[in-house]
């Protein structure tokens, strides 16, 4: 990364704006992989802007342009700017469809499903995945064959997302089938960005075994999740791996191990803006502190979780159904309902936003 930064500084003093743009876009991917999400967004935005005002050539013909179209929504999603990410995805898909570029449009459609997964819209994830990579292998319009071999990366992403959503919907047999199918496919043949989606898969399999109360398999999978994330510079997933380990330890009754894991999760996030991990890590930390009788620490972590939840929700338009779905999810609404407004009494528990309670 340091060598790349020096090269970019040199390019800025040259007259080759096109090369600078290309290298900014490719460097932004490395920044994103290193949890430098805001810096990555600035780099890719600058690179795309240079391409747009370039020599008059169609930027769509540049490979770097297409890489940038992927990186922009990825940075926005991980920054918690879900509304902006959805707008960027829709705009990019529109251009790609006009150019007959179905494969790239398919990948971006799956990025939309990833936002819905993070926002707890599990039924929406399945609908979007079916649109991008139908389970029957047929195009809805009948004009395009859609066999997995034609787009292995997209097929695997769809399996991971679909299995993760099915798990949360209680469709356990289907979920395990799809998650294992994704795992076997990745093990068998390499495809672009498998390392990243394998981490997502590890997270989902950990949740599956924990939700199934198979603590032995949950512990093994959580350790695999942590080992894989530790080999990267991705702080968001490292923190989530430690947080998952804390919940496995809690389920096993190992409070010491749980406290160690959650403390490491919190320290892993320091210096990095990782909202998708932060709200979950602080929620688990609040629960652990509460169990230990440390009410002050529990309230502090609970407030940090609540603020992050509202930041994510407020990135969406107030009338967006996805916002309501996220805020009404059991794991989210519990945190909001447990947080008091400043100055309110114990008998006046009110979240700062309207939350649809589902009885959870």
175: which DSSP letter?
A: H
- Per-residue confidence at 139, pLDDT binned at 50, 70, 90? very low
| Per-residue pLDDT, 191 | 80
- Domain CATH code at residue 147: 1.25.40
Is position 341 within any domain?
A: no
Are 38 and 118 members of one domain? no
Are 245 and 309 members of one domain? yes
Report the 10 Å Cβ neighbour count for 320: 16
Query: Higher confidence at residue 203 or residue 348?
Result: 203
Pick the last residue of a domain from 153, 176, 192. Answer: 192
Give the mean model confidence (pLDDT) for residues 313-324. 96
What pTM does this model have? 0.89
61: which DSSP letter?
A: G
Tell me the β-bridge partners of 145.
138
- Per-residue confidence at 140, pLDDT binned at 50, 70, 90? very low
Give the mean model confidence (pLDDT) for residues 146-175. 87
236: containing domain = 217-327
Give the integer Cα–Cα distance in Å for 268 and 201: 21
Residue 345, pLDDT > 50, answer: no
Give the integer Cα–Cα distance in Å for 106 and 283: 34
- Per-residue confidence at 134, pLDDT binned at 50, 70, 90? confident
Query: Higher confidence at residue 147 or residue 319?
Result: 319
Is position 143 within any domain?
A: yes
Pick the last residue of a domain from 159, 192, 225. Answer: 192
Is position 210 within any domain?
A: no
Are 226 and 266 members of one domain? yes
| CA angle at 250 for the pair 306 and 231, rounded to the nearest 5° | 80
Backbone dihedral region for residue 204 (phi beyond 0: left; psi -120 to 50: alpha; all else: beta) = alpha
Are 222 and 323 members of one domain? yes
| Per-residue pLDDT, 150 | 58
Are 221 and 322 members of one domain? yes
Are 162 and 184 members of one domain? yes
| Per-residue pLDDT, 149 | 56
Is position 211 within any domain?
A: no
Are 314 and 241 members of one domain? yes
Is position 307 within any domain?
A: yes
Give the integer Cα–Cα distance in Å for 281 and 213: 21
Is position 102 within any domain?
A: yes
Radius of gyration, CA atoms only, the chain: 21
Are 97 and 30 members of one domain? no
- The region of weakest confidence among 30-44, 254-268, 333-347 is 333-347
| Per-residue pLDDT, 350 | 35
| Per-residue pLDDT, 76 | 98
Give the integer Cα–Cα distance in Å for 97 and 154: 17
Are 221 and 323 members of one domain? yes
Residue 201, pLDDT > 50, answer: yes
Is position 109 within any domain?
A: yes
DSSP H helical ranges for the chain: 2-12, 17-33, 37-52, 63-78, 82-98, 102-118, 122-132, 152-168, 172-188, 194-211, 215-230, 235-252, 255-269, 275-291, 295-313, 321-328, 330-337
Are 230 and 323 members of one domain? yes
Domain count, the chain: 3
Residue 158, pLDDT > 50, answer: yes
Residue 300, pLDDT > 80, answer: yes
- Per-residue confidence at 360, pLDDT binned at 50, 70, 90? very low
| Per-residue pLDDT, 102 | 86
Pick the last residue of a domain from 16, 47, 79. Answer: 79
Q: What is the pLDDT of residues 69-119, one digit of tens each?
A: 999 999 999 999 999 999 999 999 998 888 888 888 999 999 999 999 999
Is position 42 within any domain?
A: yes
- Per-residue confidence at 351, pLDDT binned at 50, 70, 90? very low
- Per-residue confidence at 39, pLDDT binned at 50, 70, 90? very high
| Per-residue pLDDT, 118 | 97
| Per-residue pLDDT, 62 | 84
Give the integer Cα–Cα distance in Å for 31 and 47: 14
Q: CB-side exposure of 62: number of CA atoms within 13 Å? A: 23
């Amino acid at each position: 990364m340091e060598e790349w930064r020096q090269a970019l500084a040199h390019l800025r003093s040259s007259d080759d704006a096109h090369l600078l743009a290309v290298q900014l876009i490719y460097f932004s991917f490395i920044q994103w992989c290193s949890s430098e999400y805001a810096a990555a967004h600035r780099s890719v935005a600058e690179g795309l802007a240079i391409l747009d005002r370039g020599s008059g050539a169609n930027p769509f013909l540049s490979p770097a342009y297409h890489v940038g179209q992927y990186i922009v929504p990825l940075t926005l999603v991980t920054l918690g700017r879900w509304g902006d990410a959805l707008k960027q995805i829709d705009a990019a898909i529109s251009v790609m469809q006009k150019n007959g570029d179905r494969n790239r449009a398919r990948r971006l459609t799956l990025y939309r499903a990833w936002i819905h997964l993070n926002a707890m819209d599990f039924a929406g994830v399945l609908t979007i995945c079916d649109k991008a990579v139908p389970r029957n292998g047929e195009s809805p319009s009948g004009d395009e064959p859609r066999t997995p071999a034609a787009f292995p990366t997209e097929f695997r992403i769809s399996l991971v997302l679909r299995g993760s959503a099915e798990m949360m919907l209680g469709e356990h047999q289907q979920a395990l089938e799809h998650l294992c199918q994704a795992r076997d496919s990745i093990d068998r043949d390499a495809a672009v960005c498998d390392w990243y989606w394998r981490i997502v898969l590890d997270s989902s399999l950990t949740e599956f075994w924990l939700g199934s109360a198979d603590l032995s398999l949950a512990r093994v999978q959580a350790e695999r999740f942590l080992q894989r994330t530790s080999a990267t510079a991705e702080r968001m997933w490292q923190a989530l791996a430690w947080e998952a380990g804390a919940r496995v330890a809690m389920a096993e009754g190992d409070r010491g191990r749980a406290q160690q894991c959650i403390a490491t999760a919190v320290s892993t996030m320091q210096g990095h803006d990782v909202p998708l991990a932060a709200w979950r890590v602080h929620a688990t930390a609040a629960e652990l502190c509460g169990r230990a009788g440390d009410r002050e620490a529990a309230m502090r972590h609970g407030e940090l979780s609540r603020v992050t939840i509202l930041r994510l929700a407020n990135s969406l338009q107030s009338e967006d159904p996805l916002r309501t779905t996220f805020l009404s999810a059991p794991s989210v609404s519990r945190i909001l309902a447990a947080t008091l407004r400043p100055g309110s009494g114990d008998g006046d528990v009110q979240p700062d936003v309207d939350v649809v309670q589902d009885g959870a």
